[in-house]
Amino acid sequence: MTAGSAACPLCQEAGGELVWQGADHRVILADEPRHPGFCRVIWGAHVREMSDLAPADAARLFATVLRVEGVLREQLAPDKVNLASLGNVVPHLHWHVIPRWTDDSHFPDPVWAVARREVPPRAIDRTVLLAALRRALGGARGGEGAAPI
């Protein structure tokens, strides 16, 4: 890991409920009560940008992002999925994969904006979602053997 990792929360902890751990990246289900199903795909090493990765690594990371998006669509039928790689606050490479509904608290704004309305969070079955994500992401190491998307 590069310098700065000691102060980086994504170097120190999972960053949410660990869904899947691969050889060099992981998937977590975030604790975001207003946005159920919000997942993050987090590169293991402390790098800042997608272009810091070798092309094959970047492709593998993004394949996981797409797998997660596919499961969220299949399981939750959102109106939209938001994919975002910001890292402005925590400059450790990660992708947000966020199911969105037109009646969620922030729609059509990004989830980081000021809420437009107060609504009860959509009820989802976390257990079913976790099982589906783990099934789609395959074995414990690196995603090898997972079904192609």
The stretch near Zn ion (CB under 5 A) out of 17-25, 39-47, 97-105, 124-132 is 39-47
User: Which residues on neighbouring strands pair with residue 99, listed in sequence order?
Assistant: 81
Contact between 100 and Zn ion by CB under 5 A: the answer reads no
**Orientation angle between helical segments 126-137 and 55-76, nearest 10 degrees:** 140
Unique residue bearing structure tokens 């980086």? 8
Distance CA 107, CA 136 (A): 28
Contact between 25 and Zn ion by CB under 5 A: the answer reads no
- Rank residues 47 and 84 by Cβ distance to Zn ion and give the closer one: 47
Contact between 28 and Zn ion by CB under 5 A: the answer reads no
Cα pseudo-dihedral 131, 136, 142, 147, rounded to 10: 150
- Rank residues 35 and 46 by Cβ distance to Zn ion and give the closer one: 46
**Residue 11: both structure tokens together:** 């170097």
Q: Which position among 26, 60, 92, 100 is part of the footprint of Zn ion (CB under 5 A)?
A: 92
Q: Which position among 40, 46, 96, 100 is part of the footprint of Zn ion (CB under 5 A)?
A: 46
Minimum Å gap between C-beta 39 and Zn ion is: 18
- With beta carbons less than 8 A apart as the criterion, state whether 39 and 29 touch: yes
Interaction site with Zn ion (CB under 5 A): 5, 8, 10-11, 46, 92
